[in-house]
Chains A and B, each alone.
Chain A
């Protein structure tokens, strides 16, 4: 396992786009996740009306809510590390590296495993980044009495980690099918931010749909993965939200993860290189 990880590391550590995308993801995540209060102050200055509330009074960074808030926001940027996965796999196809690796004595299973393990490392790295953001911003902004709840709600960090990881698996599967990096990047972007959200909206709001069909919205892959960390912000309008990681969502997401791996392996196994 260490050997497989090391092989992938040797391939990527000299690849500049890898570091640029990793750095960019970290920067954007840190920038956006830690500027919630600045944003609220901006809203206040612009005279935003929160039904008489002062926006800066919102306890965005209070423990334990902070964990769900920042992992939810950070989850949107997982598209960037997905680009790393897409580019690195598409590169291996266009330069025939995968083929040469097999010739040199790696099995297809090992090759896939080296990619998957590395995706795990990427997901864990960003989870650590988000965890650190949570600790630092929490200690800066959280109200003192919430500090005792510092580590409750950290299950959202695990959910975020899985969220990123399974999304990367999805990107890998698409790349193995299409093999053209540019196409996959455009396709993944469109599917994640347009096609599936539109589909979900359609299922939720189109009249005359039987309930069984409507329920499918929860099982579409991007939605299912994203549901690992449910949207937290309506709670600030006193709406009820799901403030925990539900076992049902977890199972659905894990099923997708398993499917992505199995399908990737099946495709790789079948295809001539």
Chain B
């Protein structure tokens, strides 16, 4: 089932084109990472999808329908910073949201416990630390138990412990089958929690695909031996290698998809080459991302 579909979504500010003819879709159950450097159009995209920005042209559909206040009630979202009335407590702020979303008041306490703010529920929002504010924002997004969550930089400004907490919370939510859209410039974060991702730059879509496939393309194996010449000969005869590079005193090779590191080790052993260095390096979204950006400059 398609949760979200955009059609040539465009936003222009005078001369600047913040987003240019963006087409993408999100299926149910995806944890969708929205990547891009600062100013690439991530928040602009989300702002339009949440009807706080008006598209210059193009359109989008939530749940196969024209977007409306009703469809937004089925979406829990935080955009940039947590927004609450500072003089009101967590409970009081969530009460307003519960009334807007028309969900039961009873879900407030449950949500507060879920994000670990139950003890502080009667303190004014302005007394909260940044981490607590961020957790309350996530709580507010979860309040109506929506099928779709949109989180824009949810770990912004958090300390390492807070980041881990939020990440675990997101993974927990993802396992419950909700669809999540996560905008971030922290590639590591997206890699850890997302199933799919899209890369934006200067308002253009550079890439969309699955995280697992993208990572698989990035595996490299490092090898070295005493007799580097024999090693090179053996490697150039081996068919399972896409690319072979010499870096300092080691070879870095990119294996074909079906090539496993132990196959290579076995092969070299049969060729009577004893390795002094063998290391499989998993891919990272960071590499992929930097590749994408450099390919498009």
Contact = CB atoms under 8 A, between A and B. Distances in A.
A95 B85 contact: yes
B231 interface: no
A3 B99 contact: yes
A137 interface: no
A267 interface: no
B52 A99 contact: yes
A273 interface: yes
Interface stretch (A4-12, A164-172, A202-210): A4-12
B92 A95 contact: no
Contact of A105 (B73, B83, B92, B95): B73
Contacts of B140: 104
Contact of A16 (B53, B87, B99, B101): B87
Interface residues on A, range: 20 to 34
Interface stretch (B64-72, B107-115, B180-188, B280-288): B64-72
Interface of A, secondary structure class, is: helix
Contact of A106 (B69, B75, B87): B69
Nearest to B68: A107
A246 interface: no
Contact of A104 (B68, B85, B86, B97): B97
Contacts of B97: 104
A216 B99 CA distance: 45
Contacts, number: 76
Q: Give the most central of B53, B97, B102, B140: most A CB within 10 Å.
A: B97
Contacts of A6: 99
Interface in A167-222: none
Contacts of B54: 270, 272
A136 interface: no
Interface string A96-124: 11011111111100100000000000000
Contacts of B69: 102, 105-107, 110
A273 B43 CA distance: 12
Contacts of A42: none
A101 B51 CA distance: 11
Contacts of A96: 81, 83
Interface of B: 47, 50-54, 68-70, 72-73, 75, 77, 79, 81, 83-88, 92, 95-97, 99-102, 140
